Each structure stands twice: as structure tokens, then as C-alpha cells.
Amino acid sequence: MEPILPDWMKEPVTRYLELLDRWSRTHALTSLEMEERYEELILDSAVLLPFLGALGPGCKVADFGTGMGIPALVLALARPDLTVFALDKSKKKIAFVKQAALELGLANLRPLAGRAEELPPLRADLGVAKAVGTLDLLLGWWDRHGAPGAPFLALKGGPEEAPAGYALAAHGYRLPTRGRRTVLELRRT
Ligand SMILES: C[S@@+](CC[C@H](N)C(=O)[O-])C[C@H]1O[C@@H](n2cnc3c(N)ncnc32)[C@H](O)[C@@H]1O
């Protein structure tokens, strides 16, 4: 499995990265160096694009701990027919995601400020998270926000054990300079 960003997405993600650069000068949004951002934020998110193939128009995706909108923004851009919720407890980060959605014309990207454990249930068809918490924490949030039987995808550094009550499939991939990563695909048994 290799993350591939479709060519047509390169122009809008460049605009996103320019906006992130402008905001980061005054709002300290990310500690990533400029040259790390495309690979760590955009290309890493793109590994999830093939999983969207299982979702029909109108389905809902929830991204937990989206930070600057990652991976939610990449998914919303790729599939305008899906509604992608971007949840984060940081109001400052969600303000940035709102501005990015506005500037890129992403009406299907819905930023939500609040704690995942407190926001009203979303009944989403797919859950995703990158660089956030333990699997137990994420699946606790997913119990609240996932539709019955819906899968959850966690972007992690490497394989992990399946938590009790879940079946896990690990999909390994490699980023050009940042090395090995894994998509953990979890479903309730
Ligand atoms: C390391 S950042 C990852 C950001 C983004 N997913 C990425 O890969 O660039 C973790 C994010 O999780 C958010 N977060 C932590 N606990 C949370 C909670 N209980 N509810 C919502 N967001 C939370 C933090 O505010 C932070 O923005």
C-alpha cells in the first residue's frame, strides 16, 4: 500500500499549506518544519483515500483530534459527496480549519470544536484519527460517534494488538522520508 495524492488535488493542497504557513506565523499551529508538512500532513492522509471507496454519497466521516484539519481536509477534498466532520478540542485549531474550508470552498467539511467525549453523537459511517491517543481512547470515542458496525481507521507508527471486542487488520505503508507507518482498521466483532 502506497499513499498517492491524485494530481488534481495538488493545487488545492498547496493553497492549504500556504494558509497554514500564514496562520502559523502568528498562531503557533504546528511544530512541523515547512519542508516536512506535505509528507507528514498531506501524503500521510492520502493513504486513507482508497478506504473511502466503500462509502456511498451522503455518508458521514468523523476525524477525531483533527488539529489543523488532518486528515479530514484531504478526505473532504477528495470526496465532495461525503460529509466530513473535523473534531478538535482546540478552538484555535478549529478556527483555522473553518478558514481553510472557506478558502478551499469545502462545504462538506464540518469543523466542530469540543471534546470528542462530550460532543453530540454523530452516527458516522467511518471514523479516522491520526496521531491521537491510544486505541482504547479512540474506540471509546467511536462507541459514542460511530454508526453500528461502522469501521474505524487509526493512523499509527506500527502494528498494535486488537482491543477486546474488536477485529483488527493492519495495513503497512511507507512514507518517502518518514519511514514505516500503519493503518489500523478496526471493527466490532
Ligand atoms: C498530535 S495532534 C494531531 C493532529 C492531526 N490529527 C495531525 O495528525 O496533524 C492531537 C490533537 O488531538 C486533539 N485532542 C486531544 N484530546 C481531544 C479530545 N478529547 N477531543 C477532541 N480533540 C482532542 C488535540 O487538541 C490535538 O489537536
28 part of a folded domain: yes
Nearest CA to ligand 1 atom 19: 115
113 part of a folded domain: yes
Mutate to test the pocket of ligand 1, among 32, 44, 132 (most ligand atoms within 8 A of CB): 132
Evaluate if pTM is beyond 0.80. yes
Domain that holds residue 34: 7-188
pLDDT in tens, the chain (189 residues): 789 999 999 999 999 999 999 999 998 889 999 999 999 999 999 999 999 999 999 999 999 999 999 999 999 999 999 999 999 999 999 999 999 999 999 999 999 999 999 999 999 999 999 999 999 999 999 999 999 999 999 999 988 999 999 999 999 999 999 999 999 999 999
- Residue pair 68/20 in contact by the 8 Å Cβ criterion: yes
Q: How far is the CA of 68 from the centre of ligand 1 (A)?
A: 9
Helices 91-103, 10-27: crossing angle, 10 deg rounding: 140
173 part of a folded domain: yes
The reply, when asked if residue 161 is annotated as ligand binding, is: no
1 part of a folded domain: no
The reply, when asked if residue 2 is annotated as ligand binding, is: no
The reply, when asked if residue 164 is annotated as ligand binding, is: no
Cell numbers for 92, please give them: 484555535
The predicted complex's ipTM stands at 0.99
Pocket of ligand 1, beta carbon within 6 A: 41, 65-68, 70, 87-90, 93, 115-117, 130-132
- For residue 141, the domain's CATH number is 3.40.50.150
145 part of a folded domain: yes
Q: How far is the CA of 137 from the centre of ligand 1 (A)?
A: 12
CA 126 to CA 13: how far, in whole Å? Answer: 22
Quick one: which atom of ligand 1 is closest to the CA of 71? 6
Torsion of CA 91, 94, 99, 102, to 10 degrees: -130
Domain count along the chain = 1
The reply, when asked if residue 89 is annotated as ligand binding, is: yes
2 part of a folded domain: no
Cell numbers for 53, please give them: 471507496
